[in-house]
Amino acid sequence: MSAAGAGDGTLPAPEHHVAGGPKTLALTFGNVPNPLYTPGVLAVLARYHVPVTFFVLGANAAKYPDTVRRVADEGHVLGNHTCNHPNLGHLSTPRIRGEIERTQQFVTEITGRAPVLFRVPGG
């Protein structure tokens, strides 16, 4: 099954662990893509062969699709970080759903893969 699911609206279960040794660290970056910083971060990650998870803002993905595509093409995981980084505690359920769904749509259209991870803005 692809990350976009089986076409029936289901998504694969997200990973809950990282297979590694006793000194394994999972790195994540939020609020991406950023055309000023993301390329430099990607260069360092490539130099040291470090995979990370980038939590994408849908609004930025719409502005910088080539950067999103590059992140995915270089083998990093893309997660959903909402479209506009709002405080979800102040939004209605339909607005929260819209924030998440727009980002899912942008990332899927750009990369062909839907994010299966989500990070709440502000923690």
Whether the predicted pLDDT of 37 surpasses 80:
yes
CA distance 119 to 24: 20
Each residue's pLDDT tens digit, 53-106: 999 999 999 999 999 999 999 999 999 999 999 999 999 999 999 999 999 999
Closest CA to 14 of 120, 123, 114: 114
- Environment class of residue 77 by beta-carbon count within 10 Å: exposed (0-12), middle (13-18) or buried (19+)? buried
This prediction has a pTM of: 0.83
Superfamily of domain 28-111: Glycoside hydrolase/deacetylase (3.20.20.370)
Question: How confident is the model at residue 3, as a pLDDT?
Answer: 40
